[in-house]
Every structure is written in C-alpha cells, then in structure tokens.
Amino acid sequence: MRPRGLVVAYLLISSGAVVQGQTTVLTLAELEQRALEHNPTLHQADAQVAVMQGHASQAGRWANPSIGYTAEEVSSSPTMRGGEHGFFFEQVFPISGKLSADKAIFERKAEEARAIREGQRLRVLNSVRAGYYEALIAARRVAVRQDLAALFDEAVGVSRRLANVGAADRTDILASEIEAEQARLGLEDARNEERRIWQRLAQVVGDPLLRVQPLAGDPDEGLPAFDLDVVMAALPRESPELRAAEAGVERAEAELARARKESHPDLVVRAGPRYNRELLDHGPSPVGWEFFTDVGISVPLWNRNQGGVAAAEAELRRAHAEVTRVELSLHSRLADVFEEYSTTATRVRAFRDEIVPRAQESHRLFMNRYQEMAAAYPQVLISQRTLFQVSEQYLEALATSWKAAVLIEGQLLDGGLEQPSLPGGATVAR
C-alpha cells in the first residue's frame, strides 16, 4: 500500500460523514445558506444600505412651504380702520444646486454601504467556511484519538499477557496503563474541543440550536493551489474593503462640492392676498383686496462657509490616504497569510504522505516485536508517543492550512459576528 493509502486508512476511519444510525450529512453549502439568512450582521448591513438610500431620496426633496396670517398697519384710527389683514404663502426655491449635492452625498454613502455589505457577506461566509473545516478536523481528531486510545489499550493487554508468562514486569504494565489513561483523557479533551467549535459555528450561522452532527467533506482533499502574483494582482480589483475606501473618496468629493455650495443663495418667495381696510382718498370706500409679493436671497457677506470647506478638503485628503492604507494593508496581510499557507501546506503533504505512515508502520513493527519478546516496552512507548505527536501535528497543520486558504480565497476578511462599519463622513450642513 502506498504511504498515502496508509494515512487515509488510518485517519479516515471516521470523517464525520458516516455515522451509525444516521444517513444524512450537513454540507458546507447548507451552512452558508443558513448564515446568509440568519446572521444578524447581514441584516444590519442591509439596513445601512436602506438608510442611505432613504436619505438620498429625502435629500432631493424641496422644503415644505409655509402658510400663515399677516397683518400690517393695525390701527384704530378713522382712516386706517384696523389695517391690512391677509394670508401669505412662502417657499424656498433651490436654485444653487444644494439639493442635488445633498442627494449625491447620500448616493455615494449608499455605494459605500453596499461595499461594506459585500465585505460583511464575505466575512460571514469565511467564518462559516473556517468553522466548517475546523469542525471537520475536530471530528478527525476525535477519531484519531479514539484509534490511539485503542492502540494504548491493546498495549495494556499485551503487557498483561506477557507478564503472565514472565516476559514483562509490573513497571511495563503500569507504564502502559498510564499511557492508556492519558489517551482516554486526550480523547475527552478532543470531544470537548469539538463541542466548543460547533458552538462557535452555531453563533456565526445564527442558529444557537445547531449541535455536533455529521459533516460532508474531506479536509485531506482539495487544498487549493495559489500563485502569489496572481492573487496579489486580483486582490485590489476584488476586495470589498478597497471598494468601500474608494467609495469613501467619492463621498468626500461630494461633500466638498456641497460645502462649496453652502454660501450660494436660494430664492425665497413670499406672496399672498390681504384685505386693506384703509379708506380711499376720494371716497368712503376701503382699498379692499390686494396682492403682495416679497422676493429675496441670502447675501454671503459674513459667512462663506470657509471652515466647512476646509473641513471637507481635509476629509477628502483623509479618504485618499485611506485608499492607500487599505491597499498597503491588503498586500501586507496577504503576504503573511500566503507565507503561512505555503509553509503549512508543505507540512500537510509531508505528514500525510511520509511522516504519519512511517510512524504508523514503526509502531506496528515495535508492537509485533514486543509481542514476540524481541523489543522492550519503552521502545513501544516511544513509538506510540511519536505516532500521537505526528498525528496531532498533521491535524494542526491541516487546520492552519484551511484557515489560511479560506482567507486567501475570501479577500482576507473574517469576523462574521463583528458589527459592520458605518459609511464615513460628516453630516451635511443644512
């Protein structure tokens, strides 16, 4: 049998996909779908997009008109006879482009919120995928420790049989019993760790009732191959973090345009009918109904929003710097994750194809020789410990490799339960 076959035969005794009495398994696609439906951070991100879209719709609307009562020259003199009384209608007509500038700001914020939402979707999916592979490997660890516990129990039985015929002493029996008990404790630790991983996965999926169950999939297969140059080139094009930062620049540009319009005047029109009770010069009849109109604009004499423009210019510089920061951060993080993946993927192949099969074969040979009284128990003990250690190291490297692979394929995003960030920028002056 090839070394690969040995390790598969040893480590795949129970992958979690086949459990006695159960015929259904949970797939990664099903976990992802549940998370997309139930993870609360995605509902928050959706709400943020809707908030900005609502603000954009509202920002383009005219202010409501004012309607009221007006009175002038109110006097009890015989000629004024109570003065002029009437109603007025007042409306501000936006002629400076402030409404469209306000609308543009919130449209840019909506774009920023959509990029943040896409990033949060990837964070959730990456957390689910990482948890899925963690759970698969946790089930594998339980199976490996079950097998190792069985090997240690077998060593106890062999030691006792040899002691009955005088070929082993009490120290050999005690040593084998200690190792067997430690193996049972290690198995219980692995089961507790598996439950903890499933509890964390349940929270990301948004289903607190999710419990340990069989999973479809084989973590030994399917580790992707990456080309650093290709991944590095694709990352700026595909990263939601960078798209959000670029949308932040567009939003800051819109805010600067709005700040520059703040001192531009709008047209204010006030008009209406009124009844003038003042007597006419040539007779006893009052003046009667009149129509009046007032038209005005603000004059930017004292306040031209200099501070607001300066603040918006500073925010634009900050937004440009944020794009550069995100690009540098992405490349730095990718270099770290890629190095970790390359290192552990090499270890996975070495342990899977060479080290674990050889440790398994070494232990088998020492056990056979011990049963034939051709080897001392300390040699068996060393081979057992070696087999345990290399099996654990293999699973640890496998878990690290899958975590790094998920990050590389998922634009380096994680944190599926972290609150989504808010679109940046200051509130528009009104």
- Average the pLDDT over each of 111-120, 230-239, 367-376 and give the range with the smallest value: 367-376
Identify the pLDDT of residue 1: 37
Q: Label residue 79 by pLDDT band (50, 70, 90).
A: low
Tens digits of per-residue pLDDT, 224-263?
A: 999 999 999 999 999 999 999 999 999 999 999 999 999 8
Q: Could you give the C-alpha distances from 187 to 147, 179, 367, in angstroms and in order?
A: 10, 12, 22
90 backbone dihedrals φ, ψ, rounded to 5°? -125, 135
Question: How much is the average pLDDT of 110-134?
Answer: 97
Identify the pLDDT of residue 273: 92
Q: Label residue 172 by pLDDT band (50, 70, 90).
A: confident
Identify the pLDDT of residue 80: 66
**Burial level of 157, CB count in 10 A (0-12/13-18/19+)?**
exposed
263 close to 304: Cβ distance less than 8 angstroms: yes
Identify the pLDDT of residue 281: 66
The half-sphere exposure of 117 on its side-chain side, counting CA atoms within 13 A, is 18
Q: Label residue 423 by pLDDT band (50, 70, 90).
A: confident
Q: Could you give the C-alpha distances from 174 to 166, 167, 168, 267, 368, in angstroms and in order?
A: 15, 15, 11, 98, 20
Tens digits of per-residue pLDDT, 354-365?
A: 999 999 999 899
- Average the pLDDT over each of 202-216, 249-263, 282-296 and give the range with the smallest value: 282-296
379 close to 370: Cβ distance less than 8 angstroms: yes
User: What is the distance between the alpha carbons of residues 205 and 130, in angstroms, rounded to a whole number?
Assistant: 12
Domains of the chain, residue spans = 3-409
343 backbone dihedrals φ, ψ, rounded to 5°? -65, -50
3-class secondary structure, 275 = strand
Identify the pLDDT of residue 173: 86
- Average the pLDDT over each of 268-272, 278-282, 387-391 and give the range with the smallest value: 278-282
What mean pLDDT is reported for the chain?
Answer: 88
User: What is the distance between the alpha carbons of residues 80 and 93, in angstroms, rounded to a whole number?
Assistant: 35
Sheet bearing 84-93, strands edge to edge: 66-72, 84-93, 267-279, 286-297
Please determine, for residue 167, whether its predicted confidence score (pLDDT) is greater than 90: no
257 close to 71: Cβ distance less than 8 angstroms: no
415 close to 122: Cβ distance less than 8 angstroms: no
3-class secondary structure, 240 = helix
The half-sphere exposure of 7 on its side-chain side, counting CA atoms within 13 A, is 23
CA 151-359-391 angle, 5° bins: 75
Tens digits of per-residue pLDDT, 2-42?
A: 334 434 444 443 343 343 444 478 999 999 999 999 999 99
Identify the pLDDT of residue 18: 40
Identify the pLDDT of residue 78: 67
Give the tokens for residue 330.
Answer: 């992405």
Question: How much is the average pLDDT of 62-72?
Answer: 91
Q: How many CB atoms lie within 10 A of CB 275?
A: 15
User: Would you say domain 3-409 falls under CATH 1.20.1600.10?
Assistant: yes
Nearest of 137, 189, 146, 191 to residue 388 by alpha carbon: 146
3-state SS string over 58-72? HHCCCCCCEEEEEEE
User: What is the distance between the alpha carbons of residues 115 and 40, in angstroms, rounded to a whole number?
Assistant: 17
Q: Could you give the C-alpha distances from 262 to 304, 306, 428, in angstroms and in order?
A: 7, 10, 10
51 close to 114: Cβ distance less than 8 angstroms: no
